[in-house]
Amino acid sequence: MTVVGTNARRYEGPDKVCGRAKYIDDHDFPGCLFGVTVRSSVAHGRIRRIDFDPKFPWSECVVATARDVPHNSVLLIEQDQPLLVDEIVRHAMEPIALIAHPRREKAYEALRHVHVEYEELKPALTLSQALGTEALIFAPDNVFKRFLIEKGDVEAGLRSSHFIVEGEYRVGHQEQAYIENNGMAAWWDNGGVSVMGSMQCPYYVHKAIKHMFGLPDEKVRVIQTATGGGFGGKEEYPNMIGGHAAVLARKAGRPVKIIYDRGEDMAATTKRHPAVVRHCTGLSRDGKLLTQDIEVIMDGGAYVTLSPVVLSRATLHAAGSYECPNVRVRSQVVATNTPPNGAFRGFGAPQTLFAVELHWEKIAQATGIDSLTLRRRNAFREGSITATGQHLRQSVGALETLECCVKRGGYERKRKEYERFNRDPKKKCWKGIGLALVHHGAGFTGSGEAHLASRAAISLTRQGEIKVLAASTEIGQGTNTLFAQIVADTLGVPYDWVAVEAADTGRVPNSGPTVASRTCMIVGGLLQQAAHLFKKEVVEARGSFPKTRKDMHLAAVSLCNGQPEKRFETQYQTPAHVHWDDKTYRGDAYGVYSYATVVADLEIDKTTFEVRVRKITTAQDIGKAINPLLAEGQIAGGTAQGVGYALYENVVMKGGVMANAQLTNYIIPTSLDTPPMDVVIIERPYSEGPFGAKGVGELPMDAPGPAIAAAIYQAAGLLISELPILPEKIAQAKSHDQADG
């Protein structure tokens, strides 16, 4: 092994640093029109008519409505979401019509000359309105999906408990806030369509476009351009924009490009699901978990989109990384007349992990046993059985991350020190330190990977070039680099011998979506197998593997046997140890879990109630860091996003639409708000991952929220059970506190 485990240079780094990388809006297409979207201004209503102001020169424009879409649905899990509203508007900012014009500003101007007349219907904007079916969005009861996990006997567990602790926890929306807004272009030729743009999942777009226009595989080509971040926000929404661009391009007979500006992107595209989580926990006298009864309710927005799978992950992580003999998780995701919520780094887990982790503070208060001791007593270790009955046989670094952070973050010493500090009324701030321990399942849930049946390949061209072929996208997280490192080491060739093909459905097989912390572990694993096949065949043919480029070229000529390339392709096979039952929700929910602990050290200003995180200490067990610098980057970035989730990021909804859809008013942390971080990577290898690697992309998002809330609890003496914890909330809670005291 020579390059795995080193900080190999980023594959596309030089192109990005030199400004050569082309994002979708950098691409020019001859004769291209610019497309914009007419959106609903009401949360629920029936369209009576659409008026086009006769004073506007419509002859310069191309206009498309629902009638221009052959199959008017955005195919994902269900088909309930139209590409363009035909009759019933189910959320504000819903696409109704499309306008294209050769000039961008004229297209925007045209928007002001379209007037949609509605018969307004009563909306259900909140969970309680939806569950009271004040408006019926999804028959029969506005519930998109329910899950139930049962282990042991929760009632019997409660009866034998010495302590019973209840709590309710809430989290709001969160915006992905990638640096590049969503954008796509499309053009038609020979009865087929090409769609190009900023995205995570080219084959999702491929499938959706095929469905919309009734086209066969080979008539649709989807190409990812350089992508400025995704965080889940470009998992499903590109199906919509890509569809819009394709509809306009078809009608115009010319290429069409649609680029959202920040306001439209924030108000119209997906967010993290808000959630309410209720816990009722029973423990023995010495703090061993005996029973966990958990209820999860999530807000899905107006269409199904990915909500069932978000809910699945939320449900499967709801009991935390602890062993408990009796567990019940009842969950549901509910339809509201708000823009659909969707994928966002963590995918349901940050919501339920916030609840289970902060609940330890409440348990500590009730039992008199501190939350660190409680975690030590209950955390997963090798041999533990999870809520779904999964036997954790290997790679369980939970306690190792915990002990590492407790030691390096000075947790126990500072806990006592801050207790003394906070007793002094003359101090200008309160100090607190808090921790959280989480797990995160890598790859698709349950049988999801088997259903995906992903394929990836290595191509050897006749010129001797080695190319990685996968639809997994580089979105800033390091896909290209990791793949090249894994393949180079498996073959035993230098890193720079390996090229990575563009994520273009015309050129690469379907390696599945770039989501769910699966790219390195699952697709990297497929590529490692492909590299083994490749190596074996070369060695069988030649006796040894080439050591020079010249020898590789010679080997390529003979292996390709007159063809331009030879491919070595592999397809996902479920590992022998993984068993899952979709009906009972029992078994191995994920092949393996990654683990992380965060210790957050912070101060609260007594004058302004502002929280400043002074230090984050985190240890994360990711199996193996293929590229430690990139892994650390994922951890630092995810932690910063978690700090935002905990303290700043507040989506203000008014009338079912985001009222603060600007980065001036939706506050994400700047570099000055991002605390110094001590990041430790722990490597407990996973036998099925390439070089032992597990997932790392989402894990860092899970723990900062509850760790910060726990630290605020110590500092201000307030258990604030709803994220984000804005200074306004602390100020208000302090007023009540003083009034009570």
Per CB under 8 A, does 108 bind other proteins?
A: yes
Residue in 609, 645, 686, 691 binding other proteins, rule: CB under 8 A: 609
CA atoms of 317 and 387, how far apart (whole Å): 9
Stretch that binds other proteins, among 199-207, 487-495, 656-664, 693-701 (CB under 8 A): 656-664
List strand residue ranges (DSSP E) for 154-263, in order.
163-171, 183-189, 192-197, 220-224, 256-259
Task: Provide the residue type at 697 as one letter.
Answer: G
Cis omega before residue 724 (within 30°)?
Answer: yes
Considering the complex, what minimum distance in angstroms separates the CB of residue 608 from other proteins?
Answer: 5
* CA 353 – CA 346 distance, rounded (Å): 10
Count of residues interacting with other proteins (CB under 8 A) = 30
Under the binding rule (CB under 8 A), the answer on residue 28 touching other proteins is no
Amino acid sitting at position 648: Y
Nearest to other proteins of 441, 644 (CB atom): 644
Nearer to other proteins, 260 or 444 (CB): 260
* 669 touches other proteins (CB under 8 A): yes
Cβ–Cβ under 8 Å, residues 100 and 107: yes
* Of the candidate residues 16, 27, 46, 104, the single one contacting other proteins (CB under 8 A): 104
Segment interacting with other proteins, rule: CB under 8 A, options 69-77, 101-109, 209-217, 295-303:
101-109
Single out the residue of 54, 428, 540, 576 in contact with other proteins (rule: CB under 8 A).
428
Reading the block at residue 496, the tokens are 């720079």
548 lies in the binding site for other proteins (CB under 8 A):
no
Distances in Å between the Cα of 249 and the Cα atoms of 190, 192, 206, 335, 710 are 13, 11, 16, 32, 52
664 binds other proteins (CB under 8 A): yes
- What minimum distance in Å lies between the beta carbon of 268 and other proteins? 15
Is 727 a binder of other proteins (CB under 8 A)? yes
Residues 186 and 252: their CA atoms lie apart, in Å, by 11
Strand, helix or coil for residue 498: strand
Q: How far is the CB of 647 from other proteins (least distance, A)?
A: 8
At its nearest, how many Å lie between other proteins and the CB of residue 227?
19
Instruction: Give the residue, chosen from 607, 738, 739, 741, that forms a contact with other proteins under the rule CB under 8 A.
Output: 607
Question: Which of 285, 659, 676, 736 is the binder for other proteins (CB under 8 A)?
Answer: 659
Stretch that binds other proteins, among 238-246, 330-338, 401-409, 602-610 (CB under 8 A): 602-610
> Quick one: which H or E segment has residue 100?
strand 95-101
| Residue of 547, 608, 736, 737 that binds other proteins (CB under 8 A) | 608
Sign for the pseudo-dihedral over CA of 703, 708, 714, 717: negative
176 within 8 A of 233, measured Cβ to Cβ: yes
- 398-408 vs 411-422: helix crossing angle, rounded to 10: 50
Residues 6 or more apart from 159 whose CB is under 8 A from it? none
Please identify, using beta-carbon distances, which residue of 181 and 721 lies nearer to other proteins.
181
Q: Can you list the pairs that 86-89 forms with residues at least 24 positions away whose Cβ atoms lie under 8 Å?
A: 86/47, 87/46, 87/47, 88/44, 88/45, 88/46, 88/47, 88/121, 89/40, 89/42, 89/43, 89/44, 89/45, 89/46, 89/47, 89/118
Q: Is the dihedral of CA 580, 586, 587, 589 positive or negative?
A: positive
x-or-dash string of contact with other proteins, 204-243, rule CB under 8 A? ----------------------------------------
Q: Which stretch binds other proteins (CB under 8 A): 50-58, 155-163, 315-323, 720-728?
A: 720-728
Of 241-280, binders to other proteins (CB under 8 A) are 261
Q: Which of 109, 150, 537, 722 binds other proteins (CB under 8 A)?
A: 109
Nearest distance in Å: CB 245, other proteins: 17
Min. distance of Cβ 729 from other proteins in angstroms? 9
Q: Which of 451, 731, 736, 737 binds other proteins (CB under 8 A)?
A: 731
Residue 660 makes contact with other proteins by CB under 8 A: yes
| Cβ contacts of 140 within 8 Å, gap of 6 or more | none
Q: How many CB atoms lie within 10 A of CB 218?
A: 9
* Kind plus residue range of the DSSP H or E element containing 248: helix 237-252
Q: Is 726 in the site for other proteins (CB under 8 A)?
A: yes
- Report the site for other proteins in 571-600 (rule: CB under 8 A): none
Residue 290's H or E segment, with its range, is strand 289-301
Q: How far is the CB of 739 from other proteins (least distance, A)?
A: 13
Looking at the chain, how many residues does it have? 741
Q: Is 732 a binder of other proteins (CB under 8 A)? A: yes
Residue 676 Cβ vs other proteins, minimum distance, rounded to whole Å: 13
Should residue 168 be labelled a site residue for other proteins when binding is judged by CB under 8 A? no
Q: Which of 453, 539, 541, 652 binds other proteins (CB under 8 A)?
A: 652
| 427 lines the binding site for other proteins (CB under 8 A) | no
From first CA to last CA, the distance across the chain in angstroms is 64
Q: Which stretch, 78-86, 307-315, 325-333, 668-676, contacts other proteins (CB under 8 A)?
A: 668-676
In the complex, least distance from residue 641 CB atom to other proteins, rounded to whole angstroms:
14
* Residues lying near other proteins in the complex (CB under 8 A): 103-105, 108-109, 261, 428, 606-610, 648, 652, 659-660, 664-665, 667, 669-673, 726-728, 731-732, 735
